[in-house]
Amino acid sequence: MFKPQLIGSVRSPYRDTASIPRGLGAKHAAEGVLEILPEFESGLTDIEGFSHLFVIWVFDQATGFELIGKAPTDDRPHGVFATRSPRRPNPIGLTVVELLRRDGCALHVRGVDMLDGTPILDIKPYLSSIPMDALRRGWLAEAEAAKTQVEPNS
């Protein structure tokens, strides 16, 4: 195994987890900054051409893990690898953000769902070749359908 090294940290408007939108239909439109350490700045060369990025980061405020748990989006328990729970064996988060602009080591982005100060492990351009109609959303689609039946106008 390799030893992970941090490449930077997230500047986010969120100081506590309760303030981060969650649950079905939650929108992640908050703006933030990915502050990359100066020694990695040259690795950002040509990143401006990409509209969206994958950010790979550490759930540094999470403790322990549970293999079966409940997500805020559903009453039923699910396996951790079928959810985006912070409480996972390797506490790694993955968020797709929109790149608004680059200012040296600072990537201004929209769509953060991390706490302020969250450590960043990696950044990659977001590329998806999977057509929407080939994607299956598992239990989440069932939870969304159930919610639509309960709240037809939501």
Structure tokens at 138: 């598992």
Could you write out the three-class secondary structure of 78-106? Answer: EEHHHCCCCCCCCCEEEEEEEEEEEECCE
Q: Which is nearer to ligand SAM, 74 or 113 (CB)?
A: 113
Show Cβ contacts of residue 43 under 8 Å, excluding neighbours closer than 6 positions: 7, 36
Residue 22 is a binding residue for ligand SAM (CB under 6 A) = yes
For the window 79-98, what string marks contact with ligand SAM as x by the rule CB under 6 A?
-----x-x------xxx---
Q: How far is the CB of 27 from ligand SAM (least distance, A)?
A: 13
Find the binder of ligand SAM among 36, 44, 109, 114 (CB under 6 A): 114
What CA–CA distance (Å, rounded) separates 49 from 44? 11
Q: Which is nearer to ligand SAM, 36 or 95 (CB)?
A: 95
Could you tell me which of 99, 100, 96 has the C-alpha nearest to residue 128?
96
Could you tell me which of 89, 91, 95, 122 has the C-alpha nearest to residue 109?
95
Find the binder of ligand SAM among 36, 59, 107, 123 (CB under 6 A): 59
Contacts with ligand SAM, residue ranges (CB under 6 A): 17, 20, 22, 59-62, 84, 86, 93-95, 113-115, 118
